[in-house]
Amino acid sequence: MADIHIEEFYKDAAVALVQLYSAFPRRINLFVEDIAGPDETDEFGLHSRRHMACFGALLWLAEEGLIRYIDTIRQDAMDQAVLTQAAFVRLSAPASDAVVKAASPQALEAAAQAPPTIREEFSSHIYLFREAIRSRSSARISQVVRSTFFSE
């Protein structure tokens, strides 16, 4: 069985990157609650483990050079966040047919029947991210994030 915190990390990373890609090149405030869901602080004002894991994922994405931000807004958001050039290029790039087929067989079928300009969009990493998030499948989300950023 997979570690649930790793699956949550992949989902948080995917959602954050899609939000930033959708706003690119504008800088936006990236709120943890928009990614991980609502959070109630405890009687001491501390956030839940889930909230803090999502915030940690955002910090990690920045440390690894995928996003930039001006500052944090407490532990609630990243102020003025934007994709780095490397992340933007990677998300915009077409994935290999093997990756597309494994992540979304429907996308591969649709791409085969589409005009060339649309075919490229169906095979882009960002399209696969959106499809995986829409599917709500942890396995698909994990696979797409890994194939986009952690495999050569």
Q: Give the pLDDT confidence of 52-88 residue by residue, as tens digits.
A: 999 999 999 999 999 999 999 999 999 999 999 999 9
Average pLDDT over residues 31-56: 92
CB 79 within 8 A of CB 102: no
Q: Which run of H or E residues covers position 17?
A: helix 4-23
Residue 27 has what DSSP assignment?
A: -
Determine the residue type at 51: H
What is the C-alpha to C-alpha distance for residues 81 and 35, in angstroms, rounded to an integer? 14
Average pLDDT over residues 131-135: 91
Tell me which residue of 123, 151, 141 sits closest to 12, measured CA to CA: 141
Q: Which CATH architecture has domain 4-87?
A: Orthogonal Bundle (1.10)
Does the pLDDT at position 1 exceed 60? no
What is the C-alpha to C-alpha distance for residues 53 and 11, in angstroms, rounded to an integer? 11
What's the whole-number average pLDDT of the chain?
Answer: 88
Listed in order, the ranges of the chain carrying CATH 1.10.10 are 4-87
pLDDT in tens, 87-121: 999 999 988 766 766 666 666 676 677 777 776 77
